[in-house]
């Protein structure tokens, strides 16, 4: 194998080995959330975030370097798309987190939940993401339960149904708007699939009897947080077997988006609950270390340039 090119050797390594990426930086929040900036073999950088829950840890994995969807309120979306991660690069982020926990005398076995919710759109890298999930859930691999693996997507036509048929994990859909016009404005790359057609696909998505789709909705002050928009949101999802995660946006120096006030957040939540929806109001974690998707990478690279 010594006579093959360096580029090919690096490609083979990314695709078939769970070699640990370099930890370029790790930051620990006051709430215990840890964000890692990782360096890959081609000098590309990605992030992964370790989130402490009451009695377990969740790890948020990246699937691409950058993202092509271009959500305006997301630091990764403003980077643009660089390249897909290989299955090995995706799964190896778990090794980084496990090593980190062991070095601190913590139980790495408490890392039980995986969310493909970091940098990138997983279904735009479906071939490698599928291979990564197989590595993650196989008993001879990393051994996670498929019920504790969640894939978060804006909704990619055809690949959404393929993921559903695969039964490889749970589904979360980033909606963030109750209508197509607003979704096109704040999530331009997601608007190729009309939101009503996306919701129809969700109504027909294959679910086991006790399973539900998670709908993610990031609240943006003055943009998608009014009671009227909450009522439109309820009507839009009336036929979907789902639960809703509400989260106020993480403010960034690079955009004008701000989180709503607590009163407006609770008013939005109250409308959903009054209509019978199951709602979880998620506390934004790691704000003091810029733990939202892409923020640390953007900050470090901005300093590199300056």
Residue 145's CB: how many other CB atoms inside 10 A? 12
* Whether the Cβ atoms of residue 163 and residue 171 lie closer than 8 Å to each other: yes
Domains of the chain and CATH, by start: 18-305 (3.20.20.70)
Asked whether the whole model's pTM tops 0.85, one would answer yes
Dihedral sign computed on CA atoms, order 290, 283, 186, 84: positive
Are the CB atoms for 54 and 73 separated by under 8 Å?
no
Model pLDDT, residue 38 = 97
Query: Which active-site residues does the annotation give?
Result: 47, 293
Q: What is the pLDDT of residue 257?
A: 92
Amino acid 1: pLDDT: 45
| Number of neighbouring beta carbons within 10 Å of residue 121 | 28
What is the per-residue pLDDT for 27? 94
Please, which residues have CB within 8 angstroms of residue 274's CB and are 6 or more apart in sequence? none
Describe the crossing of helices 126-137 and 87-103 by its angle, rounded to 10 degrees: 40
pLDDT of residue 282: 87
Task: Give the rounded distance of the alpha carbon of 46 from its chain centre.
Answer: 13
Alpha carbons 140 and 270: distance in angstroms, whole number: 45
Q: What is the mean pLDDT of each run of 10 residues along the chain (306 residues)?
A: 54 60 94 95 95 95 96 91 96 96 96 97 98 95 96 97 97 97 95 96 96 97 98 98 95 82 97 97 67 53 48
**pLDDT for the residue 297:** 47
């Amino acid at each position: 194998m010594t006579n093959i090119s360096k580029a090919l050797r690096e490609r083979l390594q990314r695709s078939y080995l769970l070699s640990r990426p370099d930890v370029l930086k790790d930051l620990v929040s006051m709430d215990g959330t840890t964000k890692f900036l990782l360096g890959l073999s081609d000098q590309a950088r990605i992030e992964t975030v370790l989130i402490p829950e009451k009695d377990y840890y969740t790890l948020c994995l990246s699937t691409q370097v950058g993202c092509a969807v271009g959500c305006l309120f997301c630091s990764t979306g403003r980077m643009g798309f660089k390249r897909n991660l290989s299955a090995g690069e995706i799964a190896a982020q778990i090794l980084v987190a496990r090593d980190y926990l062991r070095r601190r005398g913590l139980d790495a076995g408490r890392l039980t939940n995986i969310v493909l919710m970091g940098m990138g759109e997983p279904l735009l890298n479906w071939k490698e993401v599928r291979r990564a999930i197989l590595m993650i859930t196989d008993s001879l691999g990393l051994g996670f339960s498929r019920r504790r693996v969640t894939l978060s997507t804006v909704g990619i036509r055809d690949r959404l149904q393929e993921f559903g048929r695969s039964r490889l994990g749970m589904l979360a859909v980033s909606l963030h708007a109750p209508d197509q016009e607003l979704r096109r404005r704040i999530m331009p790359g997601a608007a190729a699939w009309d939101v009503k057609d996306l919701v129809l696909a969700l109504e027909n998505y294959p679910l086991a009897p006790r399973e539900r789709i998670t709908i993610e909705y990031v609240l943006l002050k003055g943009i998608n947080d009014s009671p009227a928009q909450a009522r439109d949101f309820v009507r839009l999802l009336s036929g979907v077997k789902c639960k809703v995660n509400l989260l106020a946006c993480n403010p960034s120096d690079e955009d004008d988006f701000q989180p709503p006030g607590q009163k407006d957040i609770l008013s939005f939540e109250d409308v959903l609950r009054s209509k019978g929806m199951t709602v979880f109001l998620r506390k934004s974690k790691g704000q003091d270390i810029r733990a939202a998707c892409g923020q640390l990478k953007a900050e470090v690279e901005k300093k590199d340039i300056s």
